[in-house]
Amino acid sequence: MKMIFLGPPGAGKGTLAVKAVEILEVPQISTGGIFRAAVAVQSPLGLKVKEIMDAGKLVDDDTTIALVKERLAQDDVKKGYILDGFPRTIPQAEALATFSNVEKVINFDIPDEGVIERLGGRRVCRKCGFNFHAKFTPTSKEGICDHCGGEVYIRDDDRPEAIKKRLEVYRAQTAPLIDYYRNKGLLLDIDARPMIDEIVVNFKKAMGL
Ligand code: AP5
Ligand code: MG
């Protein structure tokens, strides 16, 4: 299954993707995750995107498209993939259509208050990237990842100003993709407000599994 997880920042795309990877047995490809890994090792890509990400803006289309095109040429995606956070603009979606046939797009439906609460409490493992939440899914030991023992930190783009900017960018540049994919008959809406276990059940139902 070749699919896209589409939705505002903090909707829970990454959290559901971790579960969906096991259900569908296809890899998760998170453009945000790839950019964060590049920032962590201070590669040329990382140096280029750090400021843009911290400000809550989008990395330019050419850079992002080239990265995804290269990733989708690898062998492990033959059976399918979950694109988490790509495409985020109409030009990205149009480019994607030239090198891969997407079969389904999951649209995460959640109001701004939900996003702000989720991003405000998000805690991320520096080592394995797992997402916790200070209130909903806290780590057992303060600041330490339950899965790998890594250090748990707050993402630089989870500051209030950056969250506000990301929501604006989402509305202006990414939300138009909802109609773009609905018109192609690929969109499945999912209520992203419940806790994760309920969302997993709804996701399976929506997928006919
Ligand atoms: P990216 O990493 O994709 O960030 P984002 O879209 O802003 O989304 P998030 O990762 O913040 O949210 P999420 O939906 O994955 O939520 P999560 O599961 O973590 O991108 C970062 C940046 O990279 C962008 O701003 C941009 O600069 C750049 N970039 C990336 N892709 C790009 C592209 N295509 N083009 C250009 N630039 C690009 O959940 C959030 C929190 O809520 C967590 O704490 C989690 O534990 C909690 N939570 C999740 N689900 C639930 C639930 N059901 N109940 C309770 N708590 C929950
Ligand atoms: Mg994410």
Summarised one tens digit per residue, pLDDT across range 124-173 is 999 999 999 999 999 999 999 999 999 999 999 999 999 999 999 999 99
How far is residue 191's CA from residue 72's CA, in Å, rounded to a whole number?
A: 28
CA dihedral in degrees (70, 72, 76, 82; nearest 10)? 130
- Tell me the average pLDDT of the chain: 96
Question: What's the Cα-to-Cα distance from 8 to each of 44, 70, 151, 153, 173, rounded to whole Å?
Answer: 28, 25, 26, 21, 11
The structure's pTM equals: 0.95
The percentage of the chain sitting over the pLDDT mark of 70, rounded to a whole number, equals: 100
Using a 6 Å CB cutoff, which residues line ligand 1?
7, 9-15, 30-32, 35, 52-53, 56-59, 64, 85-88, 92, 118-119, 121-122, 131-133, 136-137, 157, 166, 195-196, 199
pLDDT in tens, 89-132: 999 999 999 999 999 999 999 999 999 999 999 999 999 999 99
Q: Which ligand 1 atom is nearest residue 162's CA?
A: 25
The number of CA neighbours under 13 Å toward the Cβ of 79 is 7
Q: Which ligand 1 atom is nearest residue 121's CA?
A: 44
